[in-house]
A and B are shown apart, each in its own frame.
Chain A
């Protein structure tokens, strides 16, 4: 008997005998017409808040204070490449186990892309965001998004993102509607998502 791979590929070939590949290459329509950054960021903030995430906009100078105010009681962890200092935070060195991360109350990360149309934050887990587990297990996620990271819609985000990197697309806190379709925020992911939107770095530095 041929191995499974050989046989499946042969069945696929046979199934398609006489079927030509459709030469029509439909291109997905663009999203809404590009608008000024200011409007994009407004839309992003509004759409993230629609998911019942906490959204604040603040200057770079205020950022550390806002983070401090947003942190719950308990320990906080930050990724090794976070571009600002969070007092008393544990800097992740990749050694904490899942069970140890479960004892930590909050995480502060940056992000790669914000998508205005859908209110989505994309993490690609570079050192300013850290490995996936640290933004998953703690119950509060404070996420910093810079205004120049916000794009209009999904196609712009896809074009910017590197498929080689692991990614987490986040649209609001964890949620379920499994019980009589009542929406409940917070099942397994962080129950609190706190998004801080700040001006681009080059403007403030």
Chain B
């Protein structure tokens, strides 16, 4: 029931389209600058921030380099705590496990905590096919779901929508999904939040099955942790009889005390708060308190592929704080949709190719180029992921993947320019060729994505040319509207 990223055009094209949307760019600039300022203020309060980052990176790195032991330990402790552990190699296996659990309880609906991983595996769509409705309960996710839309930011997924649009979505769509919005709904954020509270409460109160992800999984104690703001997480983790948590295998930390640096780093990096409103922790089943049937699905879905990449594996440290999105000059102007994935921004530009592998589709292969390599992302990353270095390495891998076999025009360009990696001349060449690809696509059949939208005209100007001319969108560069794609 929600949109899909499958078949989206490569980054430069999607970015180009996003850049023509002035409302989007206004919302994004406001959002990213606001969160940046909040983050900077609370980070400055911590005298040992740099040491804390080192500690955070070390916690994740240690667990990743010892992952087999940690996963086996996690399975043991979870099982000892009364949880049932499942393993899933890919999205289809994970979705089938969750659907199977819901069906075993004759559930026709589940309530969901916002979770990147369940978006990654397309759980809602998979459950819908089995006749099970998956209700998103985070306010932004609700806006996205009701609007049949795509998330555009890790932390604030509906940031591309303004209040008037949200009111219209609530008015027209809430009724079909459950309790309708009140007749006198205004576009005041407090009024809209109250409408969401009423709409979702009936779903929380009757829910039999809750579905979550987890921010951290502690191997030593069998504890899962969910960090949130609104209390929808607490509702989903507490009220249903059955709880299923889908956890990427990279979420594991070894010891209980490892939570300390993570819980100090995440809220300050993410929402720019000293601490987020609510953090829930549970270690299997607590008799007489909360769900009495607890499942954990440990998911690979490309993570072992990323782990095998010695340069790229550091991306698995990511705690999804979204700080790198908010400082990225490219993200700020294009928004999240242009990345064609639930993981947008600088982290998305490296994580998607690492999880999926390069050389298979143009969309993924274009992502390592969605950067100016300015390095701001590395500076803010609480777990010190050196995104620029991974980007450069991924670019080399994209080029390598296109060596041999039947060369595409794009691959030829890459091949020829391989030795000027990261240099602007090369990037513009690739972008121009991608433009040719889009013109080709217009003639010979739209993809799933373009089928649902007007196919943008291939730009007369590449992303990078536009960037240089307009100082990254800060000026209009004296451009005529008739050039608009």
Chain A residues with CB under 8 Å of chain B are 3-5, 7-9, 11-16, 19-22, 24-29, 32, 47, 50-51, 94, 98-99, 102, 115, 117-120, 125, 131-133, 136-137, 153-155, 158-159, 163-182, 184, 186-190
> Known pairs A4-B300, A167-B279. 17 more at Cβ < 8 A?
A4-B88, A8-B249, A8-B300, A8-B304, A12-B307, A29-B55, A102-B201, A115-B275, A133-B238, A136-B239, A164-B283, A167-B282, A168-B234, A168-B280, A169-B281, A171-B273, A171-B274
Residues in B neighbouring A181, C-beta threshold 8 A: 30-31, 34-35, 156, 159
B256 at the interface (CB under 8 A from A): yes
Please choose the segment from B63-71, B119-127, B329-337, B418-426 that sits at the chain A interface, where 4 or more of its residues have CB less than 8 A away: B63-71
Quick check: B271 and A177 within 8 Å, CB to CB? yes
A176-B229 in contact given A12-B307, A47-B274, A166-B290 (Cβ < 8 Å)? yes
Q: Residues of B within 8 Å of A, CB-based: how many?
A: 98
> Which of A19, A153, A187 has the most chain B CB atoms closer than 10 A to its own CB?
A187
Q: What are the interface flags for B126-162 relative to A under an 8 Å C-beta threshold, 1 for contact and 0 otherwise?
A: 0000000000011110010000000000001111001
CA distance A188 to B135 in the complex (A): 15
Quick check: A189 and B51 within 8 Å, CB to CB? no
Please choose the segment from B102-110, B189-197, B450-458 that sits at the chain A interface, where 4 or more of its residues have CB less than 8 A away: B189-197
Residues in B neighbouring A118, C-beta threshold 8 A: 267, 274-275
Residues in B neighbouring A187, C-beta threshold 8 A: 139, 193, 196-197, 229-232
Quick check: A166 and B286 within 8 Å, CB to CB? yes
Give min CB distance, A188 to chain B, whole Å: 4
Residues in A neighbouring B51, C-beta threshold 8 A: 26, 28-29
Residues in A neighbouring B484, C-beta threshold 8 A: none
Quick check: B280 and A167 within 8 Å, CB to CB? yes
CA distance A114 to B286 in the complex (A): 23
B361 at the interface (CB under 8 A from A): no
B221 at the interface (CB under 8 A from A): yes
Q: CB < 8 Å: which of B158, B220, B249, B300 contacts A178?
A: B158
Quick check: A22 and B190 within 8 Å, CB to CB? no
CA distance A118 to B158 in the complex (A): 28
CA distance A94 to B290 in the complex (A): 11
Quick check: B235 and A136 within 8 Å, CB to CB? yes
Quick check: B89 and A4 within 8 Å, CB to CB? yes
Quick check: A120 and B275 within 8 Å, CB to CB? yes
CB nearest neighbor in B for A163? B221
Give min CB distance, B296 to chain A, whole Å: 13
CA distance A114 to B21 in the complex (A): 46
CA distance A35 to B364 in the complex (A): 52
CB nearest neighbor in A for B290? A132
Q: CB < 8 Å: which of B193, B205, B286 contacts A99?
A: B205
Q: What are the interface flags for B186-227 relative to A under an 8 Å C-beta threshold, 1 for contact and 0 otherwise?
A: 000110110011001100111000000000001011010000
Residues in A neighbouring B34, C-beta threshold 8 A: 181
Give min CB distance, A153 to chain B, whole Å: 8
Please choose the segment from B258-266, B373-381, B388-396, B435-443 that sits at the chain A interface, where 4 or more of its residues have CB less than 8 A away: B258-266
- A and B contact pairs by CB, cutoff 8 A, 24 listed: A12-B68, A12-B304, A15-B307, A15-B308, A20-B65, A22-B58, A25-B62, A154-B260, A163-B223, A166-B280, A166-B289, A166-B290, A167-B282, A169-B275, A176-B230, A177-B271, A178-B138, A178-B143, A178-B193, A179-B166, A179-B192, A188-B200, A188-B230, A189-B230
A180-B304 in contact given A4-B87, A174-B278 (Cβ < 8 Å)? no
Quick check: B249 and A102 within 8 Å, CB to CB? no
Residues in B neighbouring A189, C-beta threshold 8 A: 230-231, 234, 277-278
Residues in B neighbouring A176, C-beta threshold 8 A: 139-140, 193, 229-230
Q: What are the interface flags for B279-295 relative to A under an 8 Å C-beta threshold, 1 for contact and 0 otherwise?
A: 11111001011100000
CB nearest neighbor in A for B259? A158
B76 at the interface (CB under 8 A from A): no
Quick check: B139 and A132 within 8 Å, CB to CB? no
B482 at the interface (CB under 8 A from A): no
B184 at the interface (CB under 8 A from A): no
Please classify the interface of chain A as helix (H, G, I), strand (E, B), loop, or mixed, using the class held by over half of its residues.
Answer: loop
Within 8 A of A (CB), among B19-66: 27, 30-31, 34-35, 47-48, 51-52, 54-59, 61-62, 65-66
B72 at the interface (CB under 8 A from A): yes
Q: CB < 8 Å: which of B86, B193, B206, B286 contacts A184?
A: B193
Please classify the interface of chain B as helix (H, G, I), strand (E, B), loop, or mixed, using the class held by over half of its residues.
Answer: helix
CA distance A64 to B465 in the complex (A): 69
Q: CB < 8 Å: which of A120, A132, A177 contacts B238?
A: A132
CA distance A172 to B200 in the complex (A): 21
A178-B47 in contact given A5-B87, A98-B204, A172-B277 (Cβ < 8 Å)? no
CA distance A79 to B420 in the complex (A): 67
Give min CB distance, A145 to chain B, whole Å: 15
Q: CB < 8 Å: which of A8, A9, A11, A133 contacts B239?
A: A133
CB nearest neighbor in B for A7? B89
Quick check: B87 and A3 within 8 Å, CB to CB? yes
CA distance A137 to B202 in the complex (A): 12
Quick check: A9 and B68 within 8 Å, CB to CB? yes
CA distance A165 to B286 in the complex (A): 7
CB nearest neighbor in B for A159? B257
Quick check: B193 and A131 within 8 Å, CB to CB? no
CA distance A205 to B48 in the complex (A): 40
CB nearest neighbor in A for B48? A29
A188-B286 in contact given A163-B218, A174-B229 (Cβ < 8 Å)? no
CA distance A51 to B59 in the complex (A): 29
Quick check: A154 and B263 within 8 Å, CB to CB? yes
B360 at the interface (CB under 8 A from A): no
A22-B277 in contact given A28-B55, A177-B156, A187-B231 (Cβ < 8 Å)? no
Give min CB distance, B101 to chain A, whole Å: 16
Quick check: B65 and A188 within 8 Å, CB to CB? no
Within 8 A of A (CB), among B237-256: 237-239, 249, 256
B163 at the interface (CB under 8 A from A): yes
A175-B47 in contact given A5-B87, A180-B163 (Cβ < 8 Å)? no
A136-B234 in contact given A154-B264, A187-B193 (Cβ < 8 Å)? yes
B338 at the interface (CB under 8 A from A): no
B276 at the interface (CB under 8 A from A): yes
Quick check: A179 and B89 within 8 Å, CB to CB? no
B298 at the interface (CB under 8 A from A): yes
